[in-house]
Structure 1
Amino acid sequence: MLKKLRSLRYEDLDWKMVLFVLVVVSVFIRFPFFFRDYVDRDESTFILMGQSWANGHLPYTQLWDLKPPITFLYFAIIIKLFGKSFFAIRFFGAVMVALTSLFTYGITKKITGKKIALWIAIFCVFFQSLFGSLQGVMSEHICTLFFVAGIYFLIYKRQWQWFLLAGLLFGLSIMSKLNMAYPVLTLGIYFLSEGFAKEKLSKSIGNLFFMGIGIALTVALTALPYYLQDNLNVWWESIFEAPLAYTGGKYHSPVKTLPFVFIVLGLLITGFIYKIIDFKSRESQLLTVVIIGILLSFMQTGKVNGHYLIQLYPFVLIPAGVALGKLPKLKKSYKPLIIALLLLVPMESYLEYVNIVSNKIKKGSFYNGEGIDVPKYIVKNGLDTQNIFFTEYHIGYWVLGEAPPTKAATHPSNITRDELFPDMHNPRRTGIEELKYIMEVIQPKTLVARKGKEIFDKKLEDYNTYIDAYLDKHYKLEATVGRGLIYQRL
């Protein structure tokens, strides 16, 4: 394969070769992070939820988090097949990124040539893997794979059966991250308007009907296990009602997202005005509709976190790449500079390669981070693991084979989200009540916090005042492991 690639022209590329290149690039960039305890706290929560499902507990019954169940299913399947393996979770995450980029390549190839399509796909790997906490496996990685695949089929095929398949994929996407319902809705409006414009309304309605059937079938399948356990209300409240309550919280405002939304839409409009992007093409229209839908979802959520952008990257990279491809060719003298810049892009990966080698030399293991080192210390020194509370590094529950003290503590920040408690089916109704229950009734023998960081968000003064005073009175600092603080109850 490598020999073929060295002598290959862009015109000779086939799907297998492109996939091979994308997998190699994805694994190379993400490999050193296979050994990190966690990259983003959300990923740690997904792992805990997946482990609980692998143990036979449906999501939201034993542990609880805000995401739909397909996100947890990915982790549950990996854990069931490979056991407790950071490597397996992150490796298949890298493959997932490569597959998303492969479908992005396919969409781009419909619009422009293979050369530009390949480079857009490679940059799709970069943008899904670098520049923030994207090296773990996030719900956005999962939902974006399904969504990009669905768009690929809609661009190439127009028969009802392909709309049904696209609907199934969109359903999986929505059941991985609920905000993907917005671009699905804008797509539906687009297909209806297309039917009006081309006087093929009945066909458009028929295709949308089958797409809707596919979405409904996927959603229904996620509800079936809860229905069989007579627990459908848990499914409904956790998947649909809780996210609405979350986005209505006091720290979420659509106004905060407007600068970002205006920048993206401004660049798109500029491209259309100057005819850098061909707005008349169906492919460009579909991409624009999807981008608008995703931006609307960001506005509804009221914030734009770095990992949210994973959903947007494939769809903005395509028009950006097509536009750049229309620029005059670079002089040969600039090519070494461009190559050097490309080699510098994965700087985060190079630094992490150094980190894992350094950790191997110092500690004898490539696996690193307080989420691994703190549990090692706890076990080595015979501290209590069964009654333990991780206010930070909560991947430690998984490493130790333990569960969080309460359902609400699955993700430590959920304790402070009063708006979620009615949909959690949690006995306590407020965050302060939950925290007091954990500290005063469960009374964790071991508590883990992070050095130099408030236990809860700085805005939550009442939570921090309470727990700081309680720790001073009832706990002693047993050890400091890296930035991990290990407290023992007096």
Structure 2
Amino acid sequence: MLRKVITSLTPKYHKLKDKSVFILLFAASFFIRFPFFFRDYIDRDESTFILMGQSWVDGYLPYMELWDLKPPITYLFFASSIYAFGKSFLAIRFLGTLLVVITAFFTYKIGKEVSSKKLGFWAAMLCVALQSLFGSLQGVMSEHICMAFFMPGLYLLIKQKKLFWAGLSGILMGLTIMTKLNMAYVVLLLGIYFLYSYIKRREYPRGIQFSFLFAGGIFMVVFLTILPYIITGNPEAWWKSVILAPLEYTDARRYSILKMAPTFLLISIFFYYSWKKKLLDFRAVTIQILVIAILGILLSFIKGGRINSHYLIQLHPVLIVLVSMVVGKILVFQKFDYRPYLFFFSLMLPLESYLEYYSVARNKMERGTFFNGEGFTVPQYIVNNQMDTQNILFLGYHIGYWVLDVKPPTKAATHPSNICRDELFPFYDNPRSSSLQELQYILEELQPKTIVVRKNRLVFDKKEVEENEYIDAYLKKHYEIFATVDKAEVLKRLQ
């Protein structure tokens, strides 16, 4: 009986239409991500992107009023949401869900192109899970935005029915780069591969046309992001913030190679096994394109000197397709009736979502609102108690600036950890040259009457020993704990 039920729920792959796949992917993405729509923040970077987007809506180009380390298209996404729907967490998270669906849908399209509808469908479903679960991936990260441009662009390169598609792909790749600069390595390798392919086939005119359209699309997007700065007389701000600052950041904040080694080792083993067992045809153009994309992403990780969990959002959609192809060709999996196990695995996979549904429901019953987290409760406490918000400093839960409709006290305080990234100060002309000077300026000259910190947590990363010692001593001397709100402490300056 159970087997019949599971069989009835299994899609008839040969009958699947693109519209149906899109709807199924949206349903899965929405179910997994919906309970997180009501969180104050899921990753601190998302909060920073929202602040940068709000600043743009208020009339300030990125990097001019506030500052953070991402290209402009990241902030344009958030600015567009705020401009269209107002200060709505629901709108931002819903649009983030659409980004996941777009990436997964084109994972399906690529999987269908290189193998079959069945492979493409399950690769896409796995893509939804890997972009939405495990860690802080339920928020809207810059990687989500960039992959929603990259995967359609990659699909156009693989499909490439008409030369015009090269130009459209170039535009999408330009948007990818202007969302996540590290993807420039991937796009460059793909461009070189296609140009070499045309030269190898002696199709010189078409190769020139492809290069012109592909590169032209990329440079058009890049130029359009610079144009507002040229018009306002600030092209140097774009150059220093978008190009020079990330290069400096990667040099200063590299991880040990040992931290990155497991990822590279596993992928190397996978490729070697696939080649040795002839499970992938590395002579096929489509496979070569996917392999080059993966190698480009890995190269960008090496050049960036670090791999965070959300960085893998860039790797998973492409890698999933090849892994699915290999698994489907292994004999033991071909003979194995996986459907009952897959059904139960699919039910258990979104455990984080089930827990969050419970948390949201409990919060509604206890506090009368679905929205939860210190990013909501702390600002509400500050408003209810009429606390001073002039130069207020959020050293935790800094989405509170947005909720209170106030600005961070300095550019460096846009993201709390940026205060300690003094190697980046020259790139936005910070008058202070060190993180200690920045802290002294905020605390001793601006003297915020209200400061918010995370309870029982170091203010800054444990590596920032001097900064932590200074701020702990200063807060102990000049501030008192006015209230503890959930996991936040609200400090009030002593008279």
Normalising by the smaller structure, the TM-score range is over 0.9
Mark the CA change 1:254 to 1:329 in structure 2 (over 3 Å): closer, same or farther.
closer
Choose which of 224, 240, 243 in structure 1 pairs with 2:243. Answer: 240
Mark the CA change 1:330 to 1:7 in structure 2 (over 3 Å): closer, same or farther.
closer
Aligned to 1:134, the other structure's residue is in SS state coil
The question of whether the paired residues in 2 share the 8 Å contact of 1:44 and 1:395 is answered with yes
Task: Give 1:88's aligned amino acid.
Answer: A
Aligned equivalent of 1:400:
404
Aligned equivalent of 2:223:
220
Mark the CA change 1:243 to 1:331 in structure 2 (over 3 Å): closer, same or farther.
closer
Q: How does 1:4-153 map to 2 (within 5 A)?
A: 9-153=12-156
Task: Check if 1:435 corresponds to 2:439.
Answer: yes
Residues 202-228 of structure 1: per-residue CA shift (max 9 Å, x gap): 422331221111100000000011100
Residues 25-60 of structure 1: per-residue CA shift (max 9 Å, x gap): 000000000000111000000000000001111000
Aligned to 1:376, the other structure's residue is in SS state helix
Aligned equivalent of 1:271:
274
Shift of residue 400 of structure 1?
0.5
> What CA distance in whole angstroms lies between the structure 2 residues aligned with 1:331 and 1:156?
33
> What CA distance in whole angstroms lies between the structure 2 residues aligned with 1:19 and 1:35?
24
> What CA distance in whole angstroms lies between the structure 2 residues aligned with 1:296 and 1:251?
14
Task: Give 1:409's aligned amino acid.
Answer: A
Residues 271-323 of structure 1: per-residue CA shift (max 9 Å, x gap): 12211112111111000000000001101111100000000011100001111
Residues 62-97 of structure 1: per-residue CA shift (max 9 Å, x gap): 000000000000000100111111111001100110
Shift of residue 189 of structure 1?
2.1
Choose which of 368, 371, 387 in structure 1 pairs with 2:391. Answer: 387
Shift of residue 359 of structure 1?
0.6
> What CA distance in whole angstroms lies between the structure 2 residues aligned with 1:90 and 1:272?
41
Mark the CA change 1:132 to 1:380 in structure 2 (over 3 Å): closer, same or farther.
same
Shift of residue 426 of structure 1?
1.5
Shift of residue 160 of structure 1?
2.8
Shift of residue 425 of structure 1?
1.8
The question of whether the paired residues in 1 share the 8 Å contact of 2:146 and 2:179 is answered with yes
Aligned to 1:248, the other structure's residue is in SS state helix
Task: Give 1:465's aligned amino acid.
Answer: E
| Contiguous gaps of at least 5 residues in structure 1 | none
Shift of residue 111 of structure 1?
1.2
Task: Give 2:94's aligned amino acid.
Answer: F
Aligned equivalent of 1:487:
491
Aligned to 1:479, the other structure's residue is in SS state strand
The question of whether the paired residues in 2 share the 8 Å contact of 1:192 and 1:201 is answered with no
Residues 331-362 of structure 1: per-residue CA shift (max 9 Å, x gap): 45x53233111211111101100110011111
The question of whether the paired residues in 1 share the 8 Å contact of 2:254 and 2:304 is answered with no
Mark the CA change 1:17 to 1:210 in structure 2 (over 3 Å): closer, same or farther.
same
Choose which of 466, 471, 489 in structure 2 pairs with 1:467. Answer: 471
> What CA distance in whole angstroms lies between the structure 2 residues aligned with 1:315 and 1:25?
19
> What CA distance in whole angstroms lies between the structure 1 residues aligned with 2:406 and 2:307?
33
Aligned equivalent of 2:4:
none
> What CA distance in whole angstroms lies between the structure 1 residues aligned with 2:141 and 2:403?
19
Mark the CA change 1:324 to 1:87 in structure 2 (over 3 Å): closer, same or farther.
same
> What CA distance in whole angstroms lies between the structure 1 residues aligned with 2:78 and 2:419?
23
Choose which of 407, 421, 433 in structure 1 pairs with 2:425. Answer: 421
Choose which of 342, 349, 352 in structure 1 pairs with 2:356. Answer: 352
Task: Check if 1:375 corresponds to 2:379.
Answer: yes
Aligned to 1:191, the other structure's residue is in SS state helix
Aligned equivalent of 1:187:
190
Aligned to 2:492, the other structure's residue is in SS state strand
Shift of residue 253 of structure 1?
4.7
Task: Give 1:240's aligned amino acid.
Answer: I
Task: Check if 1:329 corresponds to 2:329.
Answer: no
Aligned equivalent of 2:413:
409
Aligned equivalent of 2:167:
164
Shift of residue 8 of structure 1?
5.9
Residues 108-139 of structure 1: per-residue CA shift (max 9 Å, x gap): 10111111111111111000001111000000
Aligned equivalent of 1:478:
482
Which stretch shifts more, 269-278 or 55-64?
269-278
> What CA distance in whole angstroms lies between the structure 2 residues aligned with 1:237 and 1:130?
34
> What CA distance in whole angstroms lies between the structure 1 residues aligned with 2:253 and 2:396?
24
Of all paired residues, the percent bearing the same amino acid is 52
Choose which of 457, 463, 466 in structure 1 pairs with 2:461. Answer: 457
Task: Check if 1:315 corresponds to 2:318.
Answer: yes
The question of whether the paired residues in 2 share the 8 Å contact of 1:375 and 1:400 is answered with yes
Shift of residue 330 of structure 1?
4.9
Mark the CA change 1:105 to 1:289 in structure 2 (over 3 Å): closer, same or farther.
same
Mark the CA change 1:51 to 1:482 in structure 2 (over 3 Å): closer, same or farther.
same
Task: Give 1:329's aligned amino acid.
Answer: Q
TM-score of the aligned structures, taking structure 2 as reference length: 0.95
Shift of residue 424 of structure 1?
1.4
Aligned equivalent of 1:154:
157
TM-score of the aligned structures, taking structure 1 as reference length: 0.96
| Contiguous gaps of at least 5 residues in structure 2 | 1-7
Shift of residue 258 of structure 1?
3.2
Mark the CA change 1:25 to 1:262 in structure 2 (over 3 Å): closer, same or farther.
same
> What CA distance in whole angstroms lies between the structure 2 residues aligned with 1:179 and 1:259?
20
Measured on the aligned residues, the alpha-carbon RMSD in Å equals: 1.5
Which stretch shifts more, 22-31 or 260-269?
260-269
Mark the CA change 1:236 to 1:374 in structure 2 (over 3 Å): closer, same or farther.
same
What count of residue pairs does the alignment treat as equivalent? Answer: 485
Mark the CA change 1:266 to 1:200 in structure 2 (over 3 Å): closer, same or farther.
farther
Mark the CA change 1:335 to 1:9 in structure 2 (over 3 Å): closer, same or farther.
closer
> What CA distance in whole angstroms lies between the structure 2 residues aligned with 1:6 and 1:253?
46
> What CA distance in whole angstroms lies between the structure 2 residues aligned with 1:253 and 1:335?
41
